[in-house]
Structures are given as structure tokens and as C-alpha cells.
Amino acid sequence: MIPGFEDFNRKVRRPDGFGLPHPPRDERRFDTGTGKANFTVNDLSWVPVPAGKLILQTMRSHDQYNTTIYGLDDRYRGVKGGRRVLFISAEDLESFGYAAGDRVDLVSEWTTADGSVEERRAEDFRLVPYPTPVGNVAAYYPETNPLIPLDHVARKSNTPVSKAVTIRLEKRG
């Protein structure tokens, strides 16, 4: 049993939710060789943003555990009653000629083994202004999974690469 999940079925029905144990937060205890937090520095590699495109980060909502979705609200980001949203900066909304609430399709392009370009789509997302960096947008997965080919994976983990997907927007209607 994972600590904190005892009597889960009763706890999950509490209107205010429930907290899970977090030793660093609760006890200032770190399960490391030194008993202290250990920090590392890693070099960043920047993904260039082609003209007319955006870099999509996929993420979970507040009420989601991996791909299990427990509701349609995200209290962290003020989203209620739906998950097909694209978080986008006010500057990008303006520069791309969109307004808050506009509906768009997300389109990614991938080069296949034979050198042809494959278009992949995730349809009908509502634009939500959010303080993201210019050129970067975010949306929930698994709604955005169709944008990423199954064989496009990270070198070491072999998991789908979905944290920096180049996309373009197409207005619906």
C-alpha cells in the first residue's frame, strides 16, 4: 500500500480532497545519502520556434493521475467543465489574430521513414489566455496524444516525446 492511500475510497469522496504524505514538506526529511536535498544543474537545449508555429507542452490537469481523468475542472488554472483547451499567451493570441474563446485545431507535422511529411491533428480546442512564454502553449493529455506518433520516443526512457511538440493552429469553422 502506498503511504497516504489507506482507506482511499472514503478519502476520495471528501469535498475538499485529501493530502498525501510528503516527507520533505511535512518533516524536512530527504531520503538521500546525506539526508539533505541534493540539487543538480543540467544544460538546457532550446527548441527553435519556426515562424507561424508554436511549441506545445502537454500536461496533466489538477484532477488527473497519469491518463486517469477524475473530472473536467482544473482548479490550478481556472478551467471548468472541459479539457479541450489550449493555454496561450495574450501576445500570441494577438500576433496570430485570435481572441480568447476562439476554437482551433492543433496540427503537428512529422517526417516519416520514407521522407514524406505526415500531418497529425487534435481537433476543437478553445483558446484560453494564460501567462505562458511567447511561442509556447500548453494543453492536456491524453487529448493531445494524436499529435505525437507512437514511435517518436525519448532515447533513454522510450516514452513518447510530448513536452516540446511543434504545432500550428487552424481556426475552426
Domain boundaries, the chain: 1-40, 54-171
Task: Name the helix (H) or strand (E) containing 112.
Answer: none
The residue length of the chain stands at 173
Cis peptide before 160 (omega within 30 of 0): no
**Strand positions, DSSP E, the chain:** 54-59, 64-65, 68-69, 85-88, 103-111, 117-129, 136-140, 165-171
pLDDT in tens, 70-99: 888 888 888 888 999 999 999 999 999 999
Q: What is the pLDDT of the chain when averaged over all its residues?
A: 92
Place 3 in a pLDDT band, splitting at 50, 70 and 90.
Answer: confident
Average pLDDT over every residue of 46-51: 86
Classify domain 54-171 at the CATH topology level: Barwin-like endoglucanases (2.40.40)
Average pLDDT over every residue of 129-153: 94
The pLDDT value recorded for residue 36 is 93
